[in-house]
Amino acid sequence: MKKPFKNLSKIYIFIILLLFTFVSISSESQVTANNISISYGDINGDGNIDSTDVTLLKRYLLDIISELPYSNVADLNGDNSIDSTDYTLLRRYVLQIMNVFPVEGLSDDSQSSSNLTSSEELLLEFINQTRSDAGIEPFKCDMDIVDVARIKSQEMIDDSFFSSTSPTYGTTNELLNYFDIPFDHAYETVSISPTATSAFNFSSQIDIYNEIITDPSYNYAGVGIIRCPTRGLVVVQIFISR
């Protein structure tokens, strides 16, 4: 009769050890979760970027909720605002249309007070200097157009194409219409260059480009520059008349 009691004791000890191990592991996992860095797009901070984050952002933009759990990771294009453009980017990411947010491509380029990166600001300065030399007022920088240009740059990186016509959004006019950018006429040029200076030098060799940037009827511009690790700076310049 003593043998079963001994076996029973061993079972109890084994169960207690299992419980202790489970409690210890659970406690360690909770600490790890509390100290994990939050990724861009992980708006609820659960370690996943999924439809829950999309729903949260949508509810925020519709004023159904007044704040986001982690609003600092919701600005996905790096323009210091959270709006419908970020919502579009998050949806594209969750649908696996893109795998990197534009703001991540901007991280190695200093941001200026105008919300342009230093490369974007330099390129716009070159463009406006050309207009000034021609006696024309400088382009007004439209941050909505900058957002669209950045999205297009990121799309070319993600989808490995190089064209003014997007497989997702279509032509330049269709792209601007998709993002509700008002315009009368529009022109877009794309390039891949090591620097903003070389991007301008390349573009300025194209006759139609020079005609557009010195045309007084075109009065708004937006440039988007995203760094691709394997290709250099992917540059999109969009000019519109309004």
Which of 45, 58, 65, 68 shows the shortest CA–CA distance to 91? 58
Position 176 scores a pLDDT of: 96
Report the range out of 33-37, 198-202, 229-233 with the highest average pLDDT.
198-202
**For residue 168, which phi and psi values (nearest 5 degrees)?**
-95, -45
Residue type, 128: N
Top-confidence range, 76-80, 97-101, 115-119, 184-188:
184-188
Task: Report the mean per-residue pLDDT for the chain.
Answer: 82
Q: Please give the structure tokens belonging to residue 173.
A: 């006019």
Task: Measure the CA dihedral 202/208/210/213, to 10°.
Answer: -110
CA angle 222, 225, 230 (to 5 degrees): 160
Please give the DSSP secondary-structure letter assigned to residue 133.
H
DSSP summary character for residue 74: -
The model's pLDDT over 93-116, given as tens digits with 9 standing for 90+, comes to 888 777 788 887 664 454 444 588
Using DSSP, state whether 233 is helix, strand or coil. Answer: strand
Q: Taking the model in full, what pTM does it have? A: 0.62
- Given a cut of 90, whether residue 211 has pLDDT beyond it is yes
